[in-house]
Every structure is written in structure tokens, then in C-alpha cells.
Structure 1
Amino acid sequence: MHKFLKIFALSLLPFFINANERPNIILILVDDMGYSDLGCFGSEINTPNIDKLAADGIKFTHFTNNAKCETTRTSLMSGRYHTETYKDNHSTVTIPENLGLAGYQNWMVGKWHIFDKPMKRGFERYFGFHEGATNFFNGEGTGGGYSYFDDETPYEMPKDFYSTNAFTDYAIKYIDERKKEKPFFMYMAYNAPHYPLQAPKEEVMKYRGKYMDGWQALRKKRFKRMKELEIIPQDMSLSKPESNIKDWDKLSQEVKDDMDLRMAAYAAMIDIVDQNVGRLVKKLKADKILDNTLVIFLSDNGACPFDRTRKPTKENNLMPWDPASYICYPASWANACNTPFRMYKQNQHEGGIATSMIAHWPAGITVPGSFNRQRGHLIDFHATFRDLAKVDYPSEYKGNKAAKVRGISLVPSFQGKARPEHEFIYQNFSNSKTAFVMGKWKLVNAKELYDLETDRIESNDLSKSRPEQMQLMLTEWQKRDLELNKGHASVNKPQKKKKQPKKAKKK
């Protein structure tokens, strides 16, 4: 070797050694999955591969998201509360942009659905779609149109396409084509089990008939199993069904059969995600990189209550394995999928924001098979991954002053250590659907107050019986809403003065 090249190569050696010590990171985000939908969190759905990651890793029982696709993905990518990013995306430094400064390779597969485009925000490879939801078989958007891309090239859909499988195909391809001397970050944003509920016939039929006992029975069964698995405390109660939940026993046999089909399709979609997680793990094992790869799995929000099944699907009795179908399940199933909590996607009660989160990393987790019950939030991922990559957050990026980043690293949790608690957690789906958590207290919609230590199912509103605590929470929420949301949710808008009736003229 030429003397100069030899010296140059030796000078790079420490970098490569350090790079190899830092873990690869795979963040798997599923779409609209309920808190109790995994086998390891109490479900009857077959998820052995994800369950194995949980058994060998850590189950985070108190992790939270933003209750909605776009808001969750924004906080996840930016490390900021999503309200801070409105009209301020250029000062945001995304996870892949930050990890790129540390020499990480950055790839993404799946649903984007936030500001800009993936390859403009730090990803070197990308396969997926940009909008909120698409057909699983042909890629058509729910509002029409088509936005699948292979890197930045429009993707031509093959006949045997199914999105969950295709995303994993590309993930495995990226791992195959990686630069082995450098670590990688991969964001896998599956669109399952978001509506439309679609899956191959053989997968749906595995679950056909298993839900004929109905949603009330399923909820009780899962609740019992969750206690056995120690996901929830033994003395926890099951939240009361929401007011819009129908009585299963009063439904006709025909409706029951239809409802069973819908839930079977939903279960099949989660089962297929699990099969693909198994494919991914098999690849990591084959390449002997599983041990030093951190795999995180979670959902972007709670189960979805919106039955938007389309009229042509009903009229033509289209099955969920038909690409022309557009099936959704109702709030009654969503209530069961969010066992034991109240409410659903978009709501800031626990049923909307609680997520069954799993972390697996054989080389870095020293407490496998354990639980972590500290409250965490999506903003923590940015801090965690910077910590693992040994990279600072930049003060400037691409000529812009970098916006303040938030979150607390999860790394101490991987060694079973307590990490600092959040001073507060700010939740906002819309300015009418908010929550504010400070210590054990949770303020919901600026109207309800709950003690999460004793009442995580939010059954006992303390806003009237604890007026001093209520006022404290309102004051703190208003302060943070002003800081993070320009006060849009908390500042009372001046009411328009009512027009006084005109006085009758004297004759």
C-alpha cells in the first residue's frame, strides 16, 4: 500500500471502530393500532415475533404518542411538540439529519405524512407514500391519486403488491446494500392496521369466526390477560364502555357476521406486520447484526373509531381481500382494542395517546424481559438516538438556527435505571382536544382532572373536588400553551358583543 494511503487508512480506523460500537437503530411505527392489540400486551392476535422482541427486551407500559398520524410523526421526527413546527420546519433538525452528522446511513420505508419529503429531510433511501392512507393492494390514496415513490421516482405498482410486505422487502434490500463499516438508522412506518381494512383472504380467514362473542366479551378477555401478563396492576378496574358502544347481544346475526369479518381483517393486518417483523429479525440474524441493533416498536395513536366503510363496498358485498373494497370497523371494536382505557384516536384520554412500546437490543439492554413504567413521549426518541450515536444537537443546520429540541434520553432505561421525569408533557390534537401532564396529574381538554397514579383509566374527574390542583394545572397549561402553541388553545378569545335591539323611534 502507498505510504500516504496507509497513513490515511490508519487515521480512519478509530472512526470505524467507534462507528461499529454504536448501535444500528430501527424504529418501527404502526398505524392506528390499539394498546392491547399485541399478544404480549394481552391480545388474542398471533404476534410471536413481536412478543419475542418484548420477552428479550423491555415493555414500556406508559409510553405516549400524539393521538393522530401526522402530529405523532411530526414530534417523532423533530424531537419537538408538533405545534412548535407549524411554519417553522426549516429550523427543525430531523432525526436522520442529526444522525447523518454522526456518519449514520439513513433509510425509510412506509408512510411519511408530515412536512417536506423524506429525501429532503435526511433520508438517503426511501420507499413509500407521502399521504395519510392508501389502498394496501394498489396504492391508491383514500382521496384518490397515487403517491408511492422509490427514492424520488414514482413507483410502478406490480400485480402482487401488498404494502406491508413491500416495505419489508425494501428494508431488507437497504440492509443488503449498506456500507457495513457504518451504522444505520431505519424508520419503518407501516400503514397497517389503518383503514381501509385489507388483507389476503388466507390471512383474514385465520381469524374468521373468532370474534363472534363480540366486543364486550373481547374487552373482558383482554383485560384479564393483561393482568396475568402484568401489563396493568392487579387492582386496576376496566373503564366503562363509551356511550356510543352498541350492545352486541342486540345485533342481528347478519350484523354480527359482518362485524366479525371486519375485526378478522384488522387482526390479519397486525398478524402480517408480525410476520414481516419476523422476516426483518431473520435478516438481522443472518447478517450477524441483531445483537447491536436497537429495535423499537410502537403505534402512532390509539385504535380508530371512525367507520368510513364506503357505500360501493356495502352494496357489492366486497371482501377485505378485494382491492376495490374499503372497509373500516366501528368505535365498538376500537374500544376493545384500547382495553383498558377510555376513548380513541384523536382524543387525549389514554385510549388516544397510550401506546404499547417495545425496545429490543441484546448488546445494550441489561434488563431483558422487564417493564418500564415511567411516562415517556415521542419527543424522547430524538434525544435517545443522539445519545446512542454520540452526536450533539447542532446550533445551526443548513444556514438556519436550529430550533430548541426537547425530550429525555431513554438510554438509562435500557440498564434498568430511572431517568429524569418530564417536567411536563404537552398534548394537542386540536385546540379543543388537549391534555397536560405534570407529575401524576393530567388535565384533559382544560375541563377534566385525573390522578394517573390511582386512576389511569380516567374514571374519576377531580376538577371539582380538587379546585386548587385544578387551578394550578390550568395555570401551568396556559403557560406552556403560550410557549409551545402561541396560546391558541388556552387564551380566551374576546366574545363579540351582542347587538342591542334598536330602540323604537318616538312618534
Structure 2
Amino acid sequence: MARKTARRKLALWAGAAAGALSLLGAEGTSAAPALKTPERTRPNIIVILFDDVALMDLGAYGGEARTLNIDALARRGALFTGYRTSPLCTPSRAMLLTGIDSHRAGAATIGEVLPPEHRDRPGYALRIQPEILTLAERLRGEGYRTLMAGKWHLGHGPGELPDGQGFDRSLAMDASGADNWAPKSYMPYYREAPWFEDGRPVRMPESFYSSDLLVDRLTRYIDESPAGQKPFFAYLALQAVHIPVQAPARFSDGYRGRFDAGWEALRDERVDKARRNGLLPKDAAVAGFSPNARDWEALSPEERRMAARSMEVYAGMIEAADSAIGRLIRRLEARGELGNTLFVITSDNGPEPSDPVHQRGMGLWMRLNGYAWREEGLGGPGSLNFIGREWAEALAAPGRRYKFYVSEGGLRAPLIVSGPGVAPGRRIDGLTFVTDVTPTLVDLAGARPAPDAPAMDGLSLRSVLAGGEGPVRGSETPLGIEVSGNAALYRGDYKIIRDMPPLGDGRWRLYDVVRDPGETRDLSAADPGRLKLMLADYAAYEARVGVAPVPEGYDMQRQLAANVLARQAPTLLAAAGIALLAMAGAGVLLWRRLRRGRAPP
């Protein structure tokens, strides 16, 4: 923390010195234009991050949920169709907020799936490292107020929460997820839902709804300063639509019957929409469901009703978030600041396939923690709702697979940028990456470079947002990604991919993802030279960022189960000890009674 504070002061001093030199002129020349954008023209910036939302979930991309406010922003701004992120939340968030690869930033994966061999390795501390500047730190150094509300999951101790990473005000939930109706955990890995305000533990209301709570708190932070006095950067990290999938019934009920045809029908619908709106070439093939997917028609009527209702809640949760975002937009309009506010809306990864309810031991844990899984009240308070792998595969269309994997269904996500400096009605198809967000916003805010900070990996999208032509990345520029052994590298129109078990086999494959975004035709045998070149690119990426190889036989799902058990071991041992003491006490009482019964009169 001390190193970070010192570095921040040096960056501010260097920025101030650069500003003074720009006014005086260098080496006696005439005065040069100031590098810093004038105060009155610097935009407010709001980054809205959904959790586990698929590429086509939002209405602007053809999704089923009604997202009228987000769609309006998309029409007034730029809609990206070639944006990729990481397949897991913590690495994505680290890259989003720093512009630096997740391994370099210190958050290469999530603690829930971390093998013991990776603990304390460089890049695997699961927190933003002291030498890395966040977007909030960069903008606060330029006079911005910096505000945050929502999921953090980027460090736990002093100096690692948002208040130690450049945010003036913050309400942060420091876990991979939490209940949306009450301050409690959603899985045995966490004993509680840890909420912090400005770095201090905070007592949450007994009941709330997460999207409303987070938007209300962020709005309160914005209102703490008069409109126009200082620009602000606000980071809204929604819980929608992470497990538990929950929404007010007034939103979920609006989708009654919408998903009754099942997941095969929904995937077919999305594929058809993707062809019509250009997300998928008209003659391109798409992958089918994975071999272990269930046939919708083979389900019982009760199972189909439950599955369809889970998706109704899913769509309702997205609409509920959009409704809350609408209130934020209207508040900015009332303050007279909407026209000078830049919005970034995206997701941290593809859709979530997990089924927490049917895991071993979850029935008891759910009863002890006030959860149920039944059609009545599904998505309401006390409901541990999820959509499961088949719906996730349907939602990932036209991509293959989903969250956790580096197939296109896990990486390809929505990105909408709208506001000052963005040409309206713009569609950007070129390859862009999550690390591009911070350099773009730093550029649009007119922030000066921080000379002592590590260089960002991402590229500024300012030119293409303003209407410029040409690709964001050249065809010879490689872009690597790795999370827990799952790895990919893009170069021009091509991508190599290695998906690990349980769905993958650890082999490298080559795809032309421009003509075959469904990843249906492996070109490894047909183009071995390209595969060899891109494998060399990937090896260079691994060496540059510090990727640690996963242990032999590593399986993400098995590691999650082992880590959950390890986290719960003290509680389980304590419970077992209490049970043994109770049994011993009962045995002593029984022995005494039997002894009294045998005693002579």
C-alpha cells in the first residue's frame, strides 16, 4: 500500500510537471497546446459491468430480455461485435480496470479453482498488485471523483479493496457472488456475503434487491457533489445474472411461456438472429450441444416447467437491471449531466453453466441457509435459482461452450460505448479485447501518461469510436488469453484454442473465427504452418506475462469441489466435534440409567 501511495504521488507530480511544461513551451519554443482536456469538456464516465451475460442477451444484440435503456444507449453510440474478454470474472475485472493482462496485474484466475501449486506464485495473488495503476487511480490523479458499487472480487485485505485502489467512495461485495435479496452467501465456499463501504465492513439491510441497491448507492455518491463541479468516474458492477438467478416477479412474469419450447429452440432462434444481424456469416456452420446435454423432449413436464421458469427469471433479472440503469440515466438528466456522460456497458464472460443445487451436500447446506429450489417463488427471496449448462449453451449462440472455457461462447461478449466522442449508430466488428477499455477511457478523459507505471497491454479505441476506419489490431498482432489451463491466441482472422477437461481434451486446435465463429472446422491438419507460427506466438505470450502451467490431471470442477471442502473443513470439524460430544454425553446418560437399573434394591 505504501509503495502504491508513493507511486501515485510521483505520477501526479509528473503529470503536473508535464502540464506546466506544455504551457511554458519546451526548450524555449513557443507555447504548445495543453495536453489535458479542458475541465468543462472532460466527460463523466460510467462503466456498467454485467456478470455472466452472453453476447446476445441484451436487446441491442437480439436478446429476449427487454433492455430499453441499454438499447437506446446503443443506438446513440457504438456496438461492438468482435469484443472478447476472459472466461472468468476476476481476470476480466483486473484487465477491465487496469488495461493490463491479468497475469501481469496479479489476478490470473479465481480462488475458487486455484490449485495449491499456484498459491503465492507471481500473477496468482488474486489481487491487483501494488505497482499496477487502476483506471480509478489514473482518473483520480486527473481530478475525477471515483465511485464504485457492486461486486469487487479483486483482493480482500487492507489496501486491496476499492478504497485502496483509487476509489473515493465504494460499496463493494467482496466475493464471486451473493444473494440478491439478503446479505448472505450463495455457496458453501463463503460463510457470509462480505460487504464493505469505503473499505470498512458494513451492515446491509435485511432485505433489498441488488440492482436497485447498487444503482441507488451509486446515485447517492454522484449526488454528493454538485453537478458540473468535478467530472466523475463511476463503476457499477452488477450481480445480474450471476447465480443465484433472482428477480422481482413483476419482471419475470413478463416472460411467461417465452421459453417453453426449450433450449434447442432458443439456440436455433439465436443462430437465426445472428445470421440476420451479421454476428454470424450466412453460410457459416454452428456447433451443436455438447454430448452430455439433455434432450428437452426427454424431460418430464415438471422438469420442463422448472427449466422454463428459470429462464423467465433470467430474462427478468436482465430487465430489472436495465430498469435500474434507466433510473440512473434519468437522475443524470435531471442533474443536467447526461449529455456529458460516457457509458460503457459490457459483461465479464460468457453464460454460467453451473448447477449448484444438485451438488453433493447442497441439500443440507441450503436448508441450513434458508434456500429452496422449487417452482413456486423461483427467483424470489430464498430461491437458489440457476439456468444450467443446456440453457448456457443456448445463450452462447452462435458461439461454442460457455463460461470457464476459451471457446467463443466463453469469450465473446457484448460491448456498448455511448456518449461524448462516440459517433452515433456505429458498429465495430474488429477484434477488441477487455484490456482496451482502460486505455480508451484514459484517452477520452484527456489523462496524461503515468511514467512510472507498467505499460498497458490494451489499445485505445478512441479513433474507431469517433468514426475512424480500419482494424483496431493489425493482422500480424497476436493476442493471448489464459485462465486455469484454458488458453487461446488470436492473430488476424485466426484463433488457436486449448480447452481443458472436463469438456476439452487439452489439444490445440486452429480455427478461422471470422468465417467460422462457431469453431466447427479445425484447420490444424490443413494449415500446420499457421498452427506452428501461432503456437510460437502463444509461447512468447506465456513467457511475457508469466503463465504458470496447471498441475498434471488438473480439472477445474474437481478443484472447485476440493477448495470448497477445504474452506468448509473447520466448520465441518467443529460440527462433527459437537455431534461426537453430544453422542458421548448421550452414551454416558444411557450408561448411568442402565447402571441404576441393575443396582440391587
> TM-score, with normalisation over the residues of structure 2?
0.75
Q: Which residue number in structure 1 is paired with residue 285 of structure 2?
A: 237
Question: Is structure 2 residue 321 aligned with structure 1 residue 264?
Answer: no
The 8 Å contact of residues 55 and 412 in structure 2, kept in 1 or not, is answered as yes
The 8 Å contact of residues 425 and 438 in structure 1, kept in 2 or not, is answered as yes
Q: Following TM superposition, by how much is the alpha carbon of 1:26 offset from its aligned partner in structure 2, in angstroms?
A: 0.6
Q: Which residue number in structure 1 is paired with residue 435 of structure 2?
A: 379
How many residues of Structure 1 are paired with residues of Structure 2 in the alignment? 471
RMSD: 2.2
Q: Which residue number in structure 2 is paired with residue 434 of structure 1?
A: 487
The 1-side partners of 2:528 and 2:36 are apart by 58
Q: Which residue number in structure 1 is paired with residue 577 of structure 2?
A: none
Q: Following TM superposition, by how much is the alpha carbon of 1:411 offset from its aligned partner in structure 2, in angstroms?
A: 0.6
The 2-side partners of 1:158 and 1:486 are apart by 41
**What code does the residue aligned with 1:343 have?**
R
Q: Following TM superposition, by how much is the alpha carbon of 1:208 offset from its aligned partner in structure 2, in angstroms?
A: 2.8
SS in 2 for 1:379: helix
The 8 Å contact of residues 428 and 434 in structure 1, kept in 2 or not, is answered as yes
Deviations 1:469-500 (A, max 9, x none): 11111111111111112563799xxxxxxxxx
Of 94, 104, 111, 2:144 maps to 104
Deviations 1:361-416 (A, max 9, x none): 1x3222x12210011111111211111122233133xxxxx223211101112122
The 2-side partners of 1:100 and 1:425 are apart by 29
The 8 Å contact of residues 96 and 122 in structure 1, kept in 2 or not, is answered as yes
Question: Is structure 2 residue 95 aligned with structure 1 residue 75?
Answer: yes
The 8 Å contact of residues 286 and 399 in structure 2, kept in 1 or not, is answered as yes
**What code does the residue aligned with 1:119 have?**
D
The 1-side partners of 2:326 and 2:382 are apart by 29
**What code does the residue aligned with 1:135 have?**
D
The 2-side partners of 1:421 and 1:56 are apart by 25
Q: Which residue number in structure 2 is paired with residue 500 of structure 1?
A: none
Change (3 A) 1:68 1:315: closer
SS in 2 for 1:99: helix
Of 195, 216, 228, 2:264 maps to 216
The 1-side partners of 2:43 and 2:79 are apart by 19
Of 252, 268, 291, 1:204 maps to 252
The 8 Å contact of residues 342 and 458 in structure 1, kept in 2 or not, is answered as yes
**What code does the residue aligned with 1:379 have?**
T
The 1-side partners of 2:37 and 2:402 are apart by 46
Matches within 5 A, 1:318-397: 319-361=377-419, 363-366=420-423, 368-396=424-452
Change (3 A) 1:148 1:315: closer
The 8 Å contact of residues 48 and 345 in structure 2, kept in 1 or not, is answered as yes
Of 165, 174, 191, 1:130 maps to 174
**What code does the residue aligned with 2:451 have?**
S
Question: Is structure 2 residue 222 aligned with structure 1 residue 175?
Answer: yes
Q: Following TM superposition, by how much is the alpha carbon of 1:453 offset from its aligned partner in structure 2, in angstroms?
A: 2.2
Change (3 A) 1:450 1:113: same
Change (3 A) 1:256 1:317: closer
Change (3 A) 1:124 1:267: same
SS in 1 for 2:293: coil
The 1-side partners of 2:197 and 2:404 are apart by 31
The 2-side partners of 1:307 and 1:112 are apart by 23
The 8 Å contact of residues 36 and 447 in structure 2, kept in 1 or not, is answered as no
Further displaced range: 111-120 or 172-181: 172-181
Q: Following TM superposition, by how much is the alpha carbon of 1:16 offset from its aligned partner in structure 2, in angstroms?
A: 11
The 2-side partners of 1:61 and 1:315 are apart by 36
SS in 2 for 1:334: helix
Q: Which residue number in structure 1 is paired with residue 205 of structure 2?
A: 158
Change (3 A) 1:165 1:315: closer
The 2-side partners of 1:232 and 1:256 are apart by 29
The 8 Å contact of residues 107 and 125 in structure 1, kept in 2 or not, is answered as yes
Further displaced range: 308-317 or 447-456: 308-317
**What code does the residue aligned with 2:435 have?**
I
Give the number of the structure whose alpha-carbon radius of gyration is greater: 2
Matches within 5 A, 1:253-292: 253-292=301-340
Deviations 1:334-355 (A, max 9, x none): 0111111101001001100001
Change (3 A) 1:438 1:17: closer
Q: Which residue number in structure 1 is paired with residue 565 of structure 2?
A: none
Change (3 A) 1:32 1:471: same
Q: Which residue number in structure 2 is paired with residue 499 of structure 1?
A: none
Q: Which residue number in structure 2 is paired with residue 36 of structure 1?
A: 56
The 1-side partners of 2:83 and 2:221 are apart by 29
Change (3 A) 1:335 1:395: same
Q: Following TM superposition, by how much is the alpha carbon of 1:317 offset from its aligned partner in structure 2, in angstroms?
A: 6.1
Of 60, 74, 79, 1:59 maps to 79
Further displaced range: 264-273 or 158-167: 158-167
The 2-side partners of 1:404 and 1:415 are apart by 24
Question: Is structure 2 residue 152 aligned with structure 1 residue 94?
Answer: no
Q: Which residue number in structure 2 is paired with residue 140 of structure 1?
A: 184
Change (3 A) 1:472 1:291: same
The 2-side partners of 1:169 and 1:315 are apart by 29
The 1-side partners of 2:92 and 2:248 are apart by 29
Deviations 1:288-342 (A, max 9, x none): 2222211010110000111112534567766334432212111110011111110
Question: Is structure 2 residue 489 aligned with structure 1 residue 450?
Answer: no
The 8 Å contact of residues 112 and 128 in structure 1, kept in 2 or not, is answered as yes
Q: Which residue number in structure 1 is paired with residue 542 of structure 2?
A: 481
The 1-side partners of 2:513 and 2:311 are apart by 30
SS in 2 for 1:265: helix
Q: Following TM superposition, by how much is the alpha carbon of 1:281 offset from its aligned partner in structure 2, in angstroms?
A: 1.3
Q: Following TM superposition, by how much is the alpha carbon of 1:227 offset from its aligned partner in structure 2, in angstroms?
A: 3.2
Change (3 A) 1:16 1:73: closer
**What code does the residue aligned with 1:177 have?**
E
Question: Is structure 2 residue 434 aligned with structure 1 residue 421?
Answer: no
Q: Following TM superposition, by how much is the alpha carbon of 1:427 offset from its aligned partner in structure 2, in angstroms?
A: 0.8
Change (3 A) 1:373 1:15: closer
Q: Following TM superposition, by how much is the alpha carbon of 1:160 offset from its aligned partner in structure 2, in angstroms?
A: 4.1
The 2-side partners of 1:440 and 1:75 are apart by 23
The 2-side partners of 1:379 and 1:489 are apart by 24
The 8 Å contact of residues 348 and 444 in structure 1, kept in 2 or not, is answered as yes
SS in 1 for 2:204: coil
Stretches of structure 2 that go unaligned for 5 or more consecutive residues are 1-22, 24-33, 107-121, 124-128, 499-506, 553-601
**What code does the residue aligned with 1:98 have?**
R
Stretches of structure 1 that go unaligned for 5 or more consecutive residues are 1-10, 397-401, 492-507
Change (3 A) 1:314 1:17: closer
The 2-side partners of 1:204 and 1:316 are apart by 15
Change (3 A) 1:487 1:163: closer
**What code does the residue aligned with 1:357 have?**
L
SS in 2 for 1:326: coil
Deviations 1:407-448 (A, max 9, x none): 110111212213541622111111x20101111121101611
The 1-side partners of 2:174 and 2:548 are apart by 30
Change (3 A) 1:335 1:420: closer
Q: Following TM superposition, by how much is the alpha carbon of 1:232 offset from its aligned partner in structure 2, in angstroms?
A: 3.4
> TM-score, with normalisation over the residues of structure 1?
0.88
